[in-house]
Structure 1
Amino acid sequence: MQPGSNHGSFDPTADFQGARKETRDAYARIRSMVACNVFPPGMQIQAKALAEKLGISSTPAREALIRLSVEGWIVSVPNKGFFTRPLRTEDLMARYEFAFMLLKYSIENSAKAFSSDRLQHPPELEYGADGKVGPVAEEVRIAQATFLEQLYERIASLSGNEIAVSAIRKFILETRYIRLLDLEDEAVLRELAAGTAELARLLTLGRKEDAIAIIRDQMEKIRNRMGDLVKEAVARSLSSL
Structure 2
Amino acid sequence: MAIQLITRGSLRDEILDRLRSLLVEGDLPPGARINESTLSRELGISRTPLREALLLLSGEGLIACEPARGFLAAPLTVDRARDAFPILAALEVLALRSSKGVALHRLDQLRSLHSEYESAPTLEAARVIDERWHRVLMSGCSNESLNVQLERQRAIERRYWLATAGVAGRWPQPSWVFQHAAVMEAVDDGDTEAACAALERHWGSSMREALSSLARNGG
Q: Which position in structure 2 is the counterpart of 1:50?
A: 39
Q: Give the helix-richer structure, 1 or 2.
A: 2
Q: 1:232 to 1:51 in 2, by over 3 A?
A: farther
The correspondence of residues 3-152 of structure 1 with structure 2, limited to 5 A, is: 21-52=10-41, 54-59=42-47, 60-107=49-96, 109-110=97-98, 112-115=100-103, 116=106, 121-122=112-113, 124-125=115-116, 136-151=121-136
Q: Does 1:164 align with 2:141?
A: no
Match of residue 205 from structure 1: 189
Distance 1:83 1:231 in 2: 21
Which residue identity lines up with residue 156 of structure 2 in the other structure?
Answer: E
CA distance in 2: counterparts of 1:50 and 1:198, whole angstroms: 44
What is the deviation of 1:221? 1.5
Counterpart secondary structure, 2:44: coil
Distance in 2 between residues matched to 1:21 and 1:233, nearest whole Å? 39
Structure 1 CA distance, aligned partners of 2:124 and 2:67?
41
Q: Structure 1 residue 177 and structure 2 residue 166: aligned? A: no
- Once residues 216 and 121 of structure 2 are traced to their aligned partners in structure 1, the CA distance between those partners, rounded to angstroms, is 20
CA contact (8 A) 2:114 2:180 kept: no
**Which structure 1 residue ranges, 4+ long, deviate > 4 Å from structure 2?**
117-121, 231-235
**C-alpha contact (below 8 Å) 1:119/1:150 kept by paired residues:** no
Give 1:45 deviation, angstroms.
0.8
Q: Is the 8 A contact 2:64 2:73 kept in 1?
A: yes
CA offset digits 1:58-97 (Å, max 9, x no partner)? 3443342233235443233455422233322122122222
- Kindly tell me: are residues 233 and 114 of structure 1, through their superposed partners in 2, closer, same or farther at Cα, counting changes over 3 Å? farther
Q: TM-score, normalization: structure 1?
A: 0.66
Task: Please give the root-mean-square deviation of Cα atoms over the aligned residues, in Å.
Answer: 3.6
Residue 4 (structure 2) aligns with:
none
| Residue type at the aligned position of 2:147 | V
How far off is 1:117 after superposition? Answer: 6.9
Aligned 8 A contact 2:109 2:136 in 1? yes
Gaps of 5+ in 2: 1-7
The size of the alignment, in residue pairs, is 206
AA matched with 1:92: A
Q: Which residue type is aligned with residue 110 of structure 1? A: S
Q: Provide the secondary structure at the position in 2 that maps to 1:122.
A: helix
Q: What TM-score results when the alignment is normalised by the length of structure 2?
A: 0.71
- State, as a whole percentage, how many aligned pairs show the same letter: 18
**Does residue 189 of structure 1 match 2:191?**
no
Contact 2:120 2:171 in 1 (8 A): no
